[in-house]
Amino acid sequence: MSDERAPVLIVGGGLSGLTTALFLAWRGVQPILVERHPGPSFHPRAHRVNERTMELMRAVPGLEDALVDAGPWAIEDFAMVIGATVTGPEFHRMNLAEEAEAVIDGEITPVRVSSAGQDQIEPVLLKFAKEQGADVRFGTELVSFRQDDDGVAAIIRDRTSGAETTVRADYLVAADGHRSTIREGLGIGTHGVGTLSHNINVTFESDALPRLMKGKEATLYYLRNPKFTGSYIGTHIPERGSVSFDYDPVKESPDGFDAAKCLQRVRAAFGVWNLEATIVETLPWEMASRVADRLRDGRIFIIGDAAHQMTPAGGLGGQTAMQDGYDIAWKLAAVLQNEAGPGLLDTYEEERAPVAEVTVARTVVNYLERLAPHRTDIPRDVKADNIGVTIGYRYRSRAILTEEPDDGLPTENPREPSGRPGTRGAHVVLERDGARLSTIDLSGAGFVLLAGPDGTAWTQAAGDLAAPLIAHRVGGDLHDVEGRWQERYGVGPSGAVLLRPDGYIAWRSADAVAEPKAVLDGVLRRVRCEPTSERSGR
């Protein structure tokens, strides 16, 4: 048995694991990722890369373009229909016109949304992760792990050769899905509504699909069929589609759904009883609503579906998973590269657990509204709408210098940004050296200080600090094209805000202060969670 060393070992090569590997490697930390399956997902499953996720992906040059290009449809053409069958009358039609308009006109964000499915997203993330230097090993499984005060020792096995390797890592990231063996091995339970339904996803091919779906290729169907509740969506291959349907595990077994039985369900979904189709693959799955009781155990972090299981209604599961990966990646990199104290890692759970709770609750309501309005056995309590949980969620932790009074709300309307610490830094159109850019483009690599037109004292103070900080003056090196920066960030001409690498506002000062260097130094130490002894020793 050979031995290897890695700063971070990631178990699981889905959306969350690949995102973690990519952004660790991009930040100069080379992880090892192991995934028991031989390659990325074949099933479309989660669709779309939404606005908030794309803002994070945008930091890596070329990644936004690659994800958009991977999608088969323009997002403004995408629609959602509720009906009994794909070809029958529509009960209700929803479209993403409002959301698409917000993207197109640049009111909320400058990014483009991708319509790609998980089977298209994962190969893109894999390509970029490898290009950045991540060591990604498919067909490799975790055999065992144990942690101590200094790190984690794990045994991994090549599933083809059977060769085993011991990997000693500083940290372990559990991205191993909703049946996470790591989470269970740590004795971490889950809570929530629980199982909502048992389902089978059927990927099929039919020469009739292009004709049946002409003009409706970019439509997701929620099916309230007399025989089942389910969905249909197309793929990037015109002749290939994906039908999902529920079944009663008391009366039926997933093993009983052979090709003939699956074909009958596909025909029922379309309302075309002579439809000829070939079943490509089936995937039993459980629709559930759960959140892990804890997202951290010592040097082990729980992310993605291992941390939260949610309904696909709203397309938020994969997005939350990718955002988990980005979050833990920048924090691990900062600690490993001595740019932050180890306390920063505590903020992963402090910040992401509340996001998981409100997002999971939102997807339950989406499921009830779109697929199961008849169900009265499930609570419909949720404190955020779809756009709030998509792009307006808030953070509260030791890495955020929250202002009082705090209303305690989990989200903020991104159309009405407040600039309060703990909220996402709003999109504002800027110009630098004659080129347009967004405030969103300024963060990503590290902490960024933005000062107002009369905030020269702030930018000078930033330059005098021995800290990884980039400073700009809006009204100096950056031109506020539409004159909206002060309003959207809630500061005056002499004020300043501090943006984290994820674009969230960590702190702000509405106006000038007497000793900007001392104030800024203290703020940076706090939001980077430097140990108290380290602070007092400087």
How many CB atoms neighbour CB 309 within 10 A?
A: 26
How many CB atoms neighbour CB 531 within 10 A?
A: 12
Specify the 3-state DSSP secondary structure of 536: helix
In degrees rounded to 5, what are phi and psi of residue 473? -115, 120
What distance in Å separates the CA atoms of residue 109 and residue 141, rounded to the nearest whole number? 39
How many CB atoms neighbour CB 297 within 10 A?
A: 18
- Annotated catalytic residue, options 171, 221, 222, 395: 222
User: Exposure string (b/e) for 424-463, b if CB count within 10 Å is 16 or more?
Assistant: bbbbbbbeeeeeebbbbbbbbebbbbbbbbbbbbbbebbe
DSSP string, 192-204: EEEEEEEEEEEEE
What distance in Å separates the CA atoms of residue 502 and residue 493, rounded to the nearest whole number? 25
What distance in Å separates the CA atoms of residue 46 and residue 119, rounded to the nearest whole number? 8
280 CB-side CA count, 13 A: 14
Q: Is 326 a catalytic residue?
A: no
346: closest CA among 296, 384, 388? 296
Locate 473 and state its tokens: 């003056």
What distance in Å separates the CA atoms of residue 477 and residue 471, rounded to the nearest whole number? 10
Helix (H) or strand (E) holding 378: none
Burial of 493 (0-12, 13-18, 19+ CB in 10 A): middle
∠ CA 290-296-301 to the nearest 5 degrees? 90
Helix (H) or strand (E) holding 25: helix 15-26
Could you tell me which residues come within 8 angstroms of residue 260 by beta carbon, excluding any fewer than 6 positions away?
none
What distance in Å separates the CA atoms of residue 53 and residue 410, rounded to the nearest whole number? 18
Burial of 89 (0-12, 13-18, 19+ CB in 10 A): exposed
Whether the ω angle into residue 405 lies within 30 degrees of 0, i.e. cis, is yes
Locate 516 and state its tokens: 């900007």
- SS3 for 63-118 is HHHHHHHHCCCCHHHCEEEEECCCCCCEEEEEECHHHHHHHHCCCCCCCCCEEEEH
Q: Which residues are bridge partners to 243 per DSSP? A: 202, 232
Which amino acids are annotated catalytic? 222
